[in-house]
Structure 1
Amino acid sequence: MSRKPYLRLLALTFAALLVHGYHPGVEDGEIYLPGIKKILNPALYPFGSEFFLNHARLTLFDELIAASVRISHLSFDVTVFLWYLVSIFLTLLACWEWCEDLFSEAEGRWAGVGLVAALLTLPVAGTALYIFDQYLTPRSLVLFALLFGLRNAWHGRYGRFAAWSVFAGVIHPLMALFGISYGLFLLAVKHMPREPKKETVSPAAIMSLFPVVPVASEAYRHAVHTRAYFFILQWEWYEWIGIFAPLLLLWWFSRSSREIRPTAVHLISRSLVVYGLSYFVVTLWLTIPQRFETLARLQPMRSLQLLYTFLIVIGGGFLGIHVLKNHAWRWLLLFLPLIGGMWFAQRQLFPASCHIEWPGIAPGNDWLRAFEWIRSNTPTDAVFALDPNYMLSDDQHGFRAIAERSRLADAVKDSGAVTMFPEPPYAEHWLEQTTDQSGWANFQAADFNRLKTKYGISWVLLDRPRVAGLSCPYENATLFVCRLD
């Protein structure tokens, strides 16, 4: 067994961090981090916890991270940051091990794993996913777990494949399902006879797998249609290219791999094509008929995350062997513009925030400064109201995740959270609260008192200009934090 280049992979991990940045508490961090914090301090979030606890009940991710905070005695922010770095490192290590199986040449191996590091935050077609997020989520852990597990399946170590699959399943059941199913595709293609019998599955047989589908309420329908990426017919044309271009490339790799470990590259590429096409068919059946509207939340096209990862590994290996070779200038010509472009893209996504939000460093924008003041200066049981579209103004940072206080439902992240649970009353609560906040830009003291009477809010976070009649103990150039007396 060859020695693993751990130090080089560690250096590549920090290089990836510098290129792609780190932003804890953004986007889905608003769902996952509050679940961890509530385990560590059950007094947090006395109102509105349904919008993140339903996700927490489906995973052991929050228990794992909370336990590591307690055991390590490190701060919450440092612990989460270290988990993020470890996840990147293990993902790159898993990719390196796959490169060892796929390519005998060092150029192919390093180009494969290097390209993954350079493209970590590449968007995955129209799925609203990246290959790897800029913050810690269950997906961060599941990706490396699936890569390790699939490699064990490839080598016939089925016990280890099962163990990694179980770990992935308790961290993120849906993403684990995609990886486990690919493992079965991979094994089927590997052991398939050269002239297999052709069998077809009728549409009726597929539909019979879903005899009972939850009926969408009006509130749920309102929420789910805020997520255009659930429905493949609403994808943009270039997002459709993101489905079929990778499949064509993988097909080409499978046909062109006879000189480079044909057994590995050919079979893995071919199995990925079967896997991708299969989930595309499933997507058509689950997202087009209206009767399956509540099943669109399963988002079968998110299976592409794993396919993209393998595509980059294999594509990078081909580039390293056939194009880059041992010419340093060619490596620089490829990777310098690539990482420059990825860095620039991240700066456009988070223009008002530090590129790397280091633990313990002062926040880089007024929203985060207000969130931190709230965390330090308001009661734990305080309930806030703020612009339901606030995440569109603060670089997608979550209020609950950073301020550690309850708030009324928002229109950006909570709408996505309730789409995972079509059973009442979650969508109904979300719609009622967001409806009651309609016209936020024109709210006056009487409107806030109405919300106080109905929901028990005790504080509001307001954009300038200041609303008359409110006591505001904190302000900065952008925001006021006001108490409702």
Structure 2
Amino acid sequence: MRSGRRDILPLLGLAVVAFLIHGYHPFSEDAETYLPGIERLLNPQLFPIGSEYFQLHAHLTWFPQLIGYSARILHVRLEWALLFWQVASFFLFLLACWDFVNLMFPRRIARWAGVSLIAVLFTMPVAGTALYVMDPFLNPRNITAFAEVLAVTSVVRRRYWIAVPVLIFAGSIHPLMTAFTASLCALVVGLDRIPEWLAGRGAFGESIPKEQSNPALPAAVGIASVNGIFSAPTEAYDRVAASHRYQFLVRWTWYELVGAVAPIFLFLWFSSLARARGMRNLDLLSRAIAIFTTIYFVLGLAVSIPHRLEVFSLLQPMRSLRIVYILMILIGGGLVGEYVLRNRIWRWICLFLPLSAGMCWAQRALYPASPHLELPSDHFANPWAQAFLWARENTPSQAIFALDPFYMNEPGEDSHGFRAIAQRSRLADGTKDSGVVELFPEIANSWMRQVQAQTGIDQFTHTDFERLKDQFDASWVILHTSNQNEIPCPYRNSAVMVCRIP
């Protein structure tokens, strides 16, 4: 990557600023899916049941090994390793973005505008995909983001010997997101090389290799490998699909659809602008992204309509928009810097100060009962997280918990994951575990039985708790403090209590 020494420190500072703006919540949201795999790697005695809800993911990636072994090698607690990799992922991503804008724009003012804009918009939603550009918690997407941008930059430069190993690394951490980026890279190569190949001057021969003739090949290969793809979805899978509307374009709101279609026209405009100004690289990439976005939009629409093709949605074609949004923000920011902001400091302040404040406020609104930065500590401020921590410190590692299957949606819970914090087994939930079920439909029926068994747990009687123990070997439950029951509850706080099933 072409980054001079004088750029490294400002980019590191920008990464820290982004960290402060967007907050840090290491045990929230998708961390409930990814962290237990790391925790079990470090302590194989954990999670005697329910491991399929994170191990199926973990077996497809080297993410647990990367984070877990780094914590072990550095002799630090997992919490500190997570913090290190979160900041490192931000910095590496901005470094790759800087390399990208260096390729696209000759003036430093445009480059800094592009990189600054992406840093301020880390937690910008990507249309209706339920993704951010970068998350306020560590996950494989954050780790691979820099590699995806670097791969695209290298392909535009025709440095394929860099792009290929970078994509291999990214694929070992997050195969799906890497497949999208790889297909974009293949499309860029095709648009760049086809004129030469047709003229018989191609560096790789006179014919177009089959693997480069179809930019959607990785998705097609994945689709072909799905077992039972033409079978009608089961009732359990239908229930999962109904709770994940972001997988189906026909369920998106009108403004989310605008967010999916608008990049096509925006990149066509970028291409026209680039041609008029002799910016070959920007023209090439803009045309490729416009085609890429159109292809995946059509695929996303195709899997949204026929019921029998619903299982195709597990390939999540619309999540290809993440790399599109990253490049769109970088290019758009560069153009704004070049033609609007220029060297007028007041213009920079008028743009970036309100944006930064707005993004920070939005994240605070999402986590109202938690600190903006949940840094490594021996305690939590959030009452739900406090209860989960008590469970870790005061119950056997083999304990099995039951709680409301939609506990992560409770007011004041702030999407903290029980498994991630408590490091204890629990029965399946209806939020994060359902996302795993969507990717692995074979566990759908087991998931639905456990979710149904816990539904309405705050109204359970002693007989209901005994049923949980008999059917699932559950020995502990987490209930609202206002709950009136006859089972012993050795821990309680303002929100919840931890109770033992006799």
Corresponding position: 1:117 with 2:143: no
CA distance in 2, matches of 1:480, 1:310: 46
| Mapping 1:37-116, distance limit 5 Å | 37-116=39-118
Q: 2:438 aligns with which of 408, 419, 428?
A: 419
Q: 2:229 aligns with which of 195, 204, 213?
A: 213
Q: What amino acid is the match of 1:436?
A: A
Q: More displaced, 115-124 or 344-353? A: 344-353
CA distance in 2, matches of 1:2, 1:351: 38
- Alignment-derived partner of residue 242 in structure 1: 259
Change (3 A) 1:81 1:477: same
Change (3 A) 1:125 1:459: same
Q: Please give the per-residue CA displacement for 1:229-249, whole angstroms capped at 9, x wherever unaligned.
A: 111100110100101222221
CA distance in 1, matches of 2:244, 2:180: 21
Aligned residue pairs, count: 478
Change (3 A) 1:261 1:449: farther
Q: More displaced, 432-441 or 404-413? A: 432-441
Corresponding position: 1:299 with 2:316: yes
Change (3 A) 1:336 1:194: farther
Q: 2:366 aligns with which of 337, 349, 363?
A: 349
| Mapping 1:400-415, distance limit 5 Å | 400-415=419-434
CA distance in 2, matches of 1:200, 1:38: 40
- Alignment-derived partner of residue 33 in structure 1: 35
Change (3 A) 1:208 1:427: closer
- Alignment-derived partner of residue 154 in structure 2: 152
CA positional deviation for 1:467: 3.0
Q: Please give the per-residue CA displacement for 1:3-25, whole angstroms capped at 9, x wherever unaligned.
A: 14110001000100111001112
Preserved contact between residue 263 and residue 293 of structure 2 (Cα < 8 Å): no
CA distance in 1, matches of 2:425, 2:214: 52
Preserved contact between residue 169 and residue 177 of structure 1 (Cα < 8 Å): yes
Q: What amino acid is the match of 2:436?
A: A
Preserved contact between residue 156 and residue 285 of structure 2 (Cα < 8 Å): no
Q: Please give the per-residue CA displacement for 1:18-40, whole angstroms capped at 9, x wherever unaligned.
A: 11001112111100000110010
- Alignment-derived partner of residue 296 in structure 2: 279
Runs of 4+ more than 6 Å apart: 194-197, 206-209
- Alignment-derived partner of residue 203 in structure 2: none
CA positional deviation for 1:200: 11
Change (3 A) 1:410 1:207: closer
What is the RMSD of the two structures over their aligned residues, measured on CA atoms? 2.1
- Alignment-derived partner of residue 436 in structure 1: 453
Q: Please give the per-residue CA displacement for 1:251-286, whole angstroms capped at 9, x wherever unaligned.
A: 111111246551011111111101100111111222
CA positional deviation for 1:458: 0.8
Corresponding position: 1:140 with 2:142: yes
Q: More displaced, 54-63 or 436-445? A: 436-445
- Alignment-derived partner of residue 189 in structure 2: 187
CA positional deviation for 1:149: 1.7
Q: TM-score, normalised by structure 2?
A: 0.92
Change (3 A) 1:57 1:196: same
Q: 2:471 aligns with which of 454, 458, 462?
A: 454
**Identity over aligned pairs, percent:** 44
Q: More displaced, 212-221 or 182-191? A: 212-221
Q: More displaced, 396-405 or 470-479? A: 470-479
- Alignment-derived partner of residue 3 in structure 1: 4
Q: What amino acid is the match of 2:123?
A: T
Q: Please give the per-residue CA displacement for 1:83-126, whole angstroms capped at 9, x wherever unaligned.
A: 01100101100000001001111110000000000001110011
Q: Please give the per-residue CA displacement for 1:341-380, whole angstroms capped at 9, x wherever unaligned.
A: 1111111111111111011163121101111111111110
CA distance in 1, matches of 2:250, 2:483: 44
Q: More displaced, 152-161 or 23-32? A: 152-161
Preserved contact between residue 214 and residue 422 of structure 1 (Cα < 8 Å): no
For structure 2, list consecutive stretches of 5 or more residues without a partner in the other structure.
200-212
Q: TM-score, normalised by structure 1?
A: 0.95
Preserved contact between residue 104 and residue 281 of structure 2 (Cα < 8 Å): yes
